[in-house]
């Protein structure tokens, strides 16, 4: 059964930013979908099992943005 967790990312300003963050988060094992709301920085991640915040933080930082 999949579940969705919401995280906040700071510093995204355009569709390229969204694409970069999405690409990095999708590399985390178990991630099924990533939906980002650019104006708010909300990142909804659907995964097979709960994700470790540290893994999501590392992916966001790898993309060059701040995990809030």
Among 52, 35, 45, 62, smallest CA distance to 4 is for 45
What pLDDT score does 45 carry? 98
* pLDDT at residue 1 tops 90: no
Burial 38-65 (b: 16+ CB within 10 A, else e): eeebebebebeeebeeeebeebbeebeb
User: What is the tens place of the pLDDT at every residue in 3-14?
Assistant: 999 999 999 999
What pLDDT score does 3 carry? 95
User: What is the tens place of the pLDDT at every residue in 24-64?
Assistant: 999 999 999 999 999 999 999 999 999 999 999 999 999 99
């Amino acid at each position: 059964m999949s579940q969705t967790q919401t995280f906040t990312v700071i510093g995204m300003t355009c569709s390229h930013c969204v694409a970069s963050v999405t690409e990095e988060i999708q590399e985390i094992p178990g991630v099924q979908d990533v939906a980002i709301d650019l104006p708010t920085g909300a990142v909804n991640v659907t995964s097979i099992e709960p994700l470790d915040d540290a893994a999501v933080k590392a992916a966001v930082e790898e993309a060059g943005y701040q995990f809030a």
